[in-house]
Structure 1
Amino acid sequence: MNDTLNIDCFYTIFHFLSKPQLLTSAAAHTLQTWIDRNHFLCSLQQIDFLEQDGEVAQFIHFDETNLLHLAQRCCNLREFRGNINDSFGDDVLLQLIDMLPQLEVLHLVSPSNTRVTDKAMEHLSSNLSQIRLISIKTIKLQSETIELLLKRHGKTLSYFYFGPLNDASPPSLEALECCLNLEKLDLSGFQGLESFIENSPQLKELLIDSGLPRPRNLFLRLQHSLEEVIIVDHSTQVLLWLADMVEAKVALKRLHIFVRGHITGEFRLAVERLMPKLEHLCLAASYLEG
């Protein structure tokens, strides 16, 4: 049995769902029964309920009971990626951490803000020393908690998604210098962009809110490592980011652009200049010109 259980396994099991965005009570019972009957779960190392591009698999949401029931049976799990419902909070996360002592990857997606607080993330930090991916995009952390996570796990972290930080101040230089292996970084809610990049020349993926200030020579510092860029926001700002990438001769493999407005011919030309090694292109806008 493959030690990776991915989304494809569940299309057959849950094909009868009438509401694809919701796990019905009948389907939830089926999932729990299926978990109980499959003893191989005790040796399972990875569960992935997210699409390959990071989007949520909309047909199955975990409620507290199903998530904890699954974790209880999969005590050797190293990676868990899944979408959760609005009731997810500290109590659930604390139990999840205690049930999965070998967890290295935690990627949770919620339709709205979770009730997870700094206290739960501090517990995660204290109990999962080997963690290398943290992504709970709907939580808001204090600056002190972010500092703690980076300092404790900087040597193992390769992915860190900040989420909506609001007024949280950027991490200190001391914390940034701990991040020796960071490859993927979500900057959509992060203001300390330039100092972070200066200390993370090995970054392969950036998610950028184009409303953020554009540091000088950002892409020159990343031209040899950067493979994927995701840009979100207004078309005029996106053009400036694209121009910077073209000037730095960044040979991207994957480019995702989500524009609130029109994509013009000028915009398309800038994208084409990044095309030589491009393998994946995703454009989403109100209107595509040309």
Structure 2
Amino acid sequence: MLKPGIILPPHPKSDLVGKFPDKGKLHWYVFDNHKKWKLTSHAHFSIYESDVLPLISDVLFVLDPDFCRFEYLTFAIRNSCHLFIDTIELLSLSQIEQLIELAHEAGTQIAVRADQLYEPLTQKLLQANQFPRIVKGEHASSNFQGELFEHITGFLRILLKLNPTEITETAVAGGNFLSDATDFIDIHLDFADGMVASLTFSSLPTSDSSHLFVYRNGGLTDANFMANMLTLKPENRTIPFSQTSEHETLIHQMNDFLFSVNNLEFSIHSLEEEKEVFLLVKRIKEQLRVKSIHI
């Protein structure tokens, strides 16, 4: 039986501990550096220090971004831990590549949290035998600067899941109007199989919305969600989701990862896939520096 460990995130908004996957069957090893989680009301867990978890766990969920650093993740892999990490923001490209290589040598998996790839959404978007021909994304935000590349990254994760073929052409334009900050970014991507993607991001003081339109020979799939969260509103042609509760997408990913490790499969967002997203975001930033328009 698996021995899962978890490093809890720093800012609880609701009870994550009570929703641990298979908490009635699995015994969880927990580290709570922030002492903000109410652990006393739950059974099936023990509290340990962070440097002990990789020694006693075979699956480790690193949900505190401060622990998603190269030294700690390397320590966990060398102790044969399968890793689910919250972010790669503290990692360089060379460190990502080293972690991938170490995991291959150790026979372990590394997954990266990607709420955008919530399974009901990807099931609808990845319809069998109906390959996308055109994808159009539109995002408007009142907090454009603070969340811009979070949203760009979210859209790119979905795009690369929709189409894993090579991107043959990347065109980026952005600029600002009567301000020092970026007000809009347009991204155009051509894929090797002929698919075309066009993404538009804009700063609008009165709007927070995201749309993703996927055109196929079989018709149109229209996903409408607020900002980067998968809270979809009931509109015509919109994928019929109920509102996701706090931690729901995370719990689904945790459960999928445990299943993946148990069954020697890899069905969720891997570090290798996140590396491709990382490289594409880097390419977009480089082009944006060259092709910005100031009015």
Please tell me the TM-score bracket, short chain as reference: 0.3 to 0.5
Structure having the larger proportion of residues in strand: 2
TM norm structure 2: 0.34
| Higher RCO, 1 vs 2 (CA within 8 Å, ≥6 residues apart) | 2
